[in-house]
Amino acid sequence: MSSFEDADTEETVTSLRVTIYHPGQMQNGIFQSIRFYNPEKLPSSEVVKFGRNSTICRYTFQDKQVSRVQFSLQLFKKFDSSVLSFEIKNMSRKTSLLVDSTELGYLNKVELPYRCMVRFGEYQLLVEKEDGESLEFFETLFVMSPRPLLQEHDWPAGKPTPEFCRSSLWCTQSTSLSASPREMDENEY
Amino acid sequence: MERPLTVLRMSLYHPTQGSAVFATVPQRLQHDTSPLLVGRGLDAHLQLHLPRLSRQHLSLEPYREKGSALLAFSLKALSRRGCVWVNGLVLRFLEQVPLSTINRVAFAGIQMVVHVEGGTSLEAFVCCFHVSPSPLIYRPQAEETDEWEDIPKEPPAPGSE
């Protein structure tokens, strides 16, 4: 019997395709440690961190304006659901993370839609999920976009929508926020 | 001024009292904002010595609800073979639920009650452990939580037995 016939049945894996754009990507080498167009299989229990610190983060951005850990992604299942979902959590103390029009503060987390735009600072990440069967692994694939994604995909570049407007002052302040949070923290403590 | 840390008061019980299950459990454990791993493995932050336990059996993850200044926690089952009973729900591999203020948890024969006392620090949280000499959760087959067929369908009312 050949090894082909003897092999375990292959399972499809849940995959995340991340298309990235940053206006300085051609000059600054900020994505030099990311292997584009190279599918990577990761254990399903891994909390995948993105940021500047290469000892902590699986995917690093060579940019001093990026936090040591900017955000994290992890797989999970809702109770009694067979579908694997991804959750994204903002790990930056000072910089907001935008998931479509939802603004996440430090340690806020949200389930990723099947297709969404994730933004912080001048970074734009179009994240697209594809379901798979495997509970053991998931796959990531990074693609660099030569053009800004917001224009390319006609994404609403609107202002973040606050979920909790407890006072008119807060609402006034939040609606004056830029769609691209400019402030970048260092998490140096 | 330093902000007070969120405290997780965790009572633990296993029927084999005097055994080595909780031998390495500290009285107090301070942890950063990464998920706290509970299991048998050396990389577990709370290491419990029980052969039935997975190396990483579950995690307690701090996060913040939108609009809240306090830490909240979610519990995620990380065992492929076992499961985790949380407040009446049986979680299988990768299933996750948010915790409330008082939580009853059972896995691999271990009973655990987690009481969350909110603090305003977002830098870290602290776990305070207490090993109980008597059971914490009264329900049939509380020790069988890692066997699919022995999972209770309905959560009994606390103290109803």
- Residue A157: per-residue pLDDT: 52
Residue B106: phi, psi to the nearest 5?
A: -140, 140
Residue linked to tokens 């990074």: A142
Which residues of chain B are modeled with pLDDT < 50? 140, 142-161
Q: How far apart are CA A60 and CA A20, in angstroms?
A: 13
Strands B102-107 and B84-86: antiparallel
pTM of the model: 0.81
Q: Indicate the number of domains in chain B.
A: 1
Q: How far apart are CA A146 and CA B80, in angstroms?
A: 41
- Residue A176: per-residue pLDDT: 35
Q: Indicate the number of domains in chain A.
A: 1
Residue linked to tokens 């419990």: B48
Measured CA to CA in angstroms, residue B138 lies from A112, B7, B80, B157, B159 at distances of 38, 25, 26, 9, 6
Owning domain of residue A34: 3-188
Tokens of A131: 């379901």
Q: How far apart are CA A49 and CA A35, in angstroms?
A: 15
In a domain, residue B68? The reply is yes
In a domain, residue B85? The reply is yes
pLDDT digits (tens, 9 = 90+) for A31-47: 999 999 999 999 999 99
- Residue B19: per-residue pLDDT: 65
Contacts of A89 in chain B (CB under 8 A): 63
Instruction: Give this complex's ipTM.
Output: 0.83
Contacts of A163 in chain B (CB under 8 A): 66-67
- Residue A7: per-residue pLDDT: 76
> Which strands sit side by side in the sheet containing A97-99, from one edge to the other?
A40-43, A137-144, A14-21, A123-130, A115-120, A97-99, A102-104
Which residues of chain A are modeled with pLDDT < 50? 158-189
- Residue B84: per-residue pLDDT: 96
In a domain, residue B74? The reply is yes
- Residue B139: per-residue pLDDT: 65
Owning domain of residue B76: 6-136
- Closest residue of A to B70, CA-based? A107
CATH of the domain at B38: 2.60.200.20
Q: How far apart are CA A56 and CA A108, in angstroms?
A: 20
CATH of the domain at A63: 2.60.200.20
CB contact under 8 A, B64 and A91: no
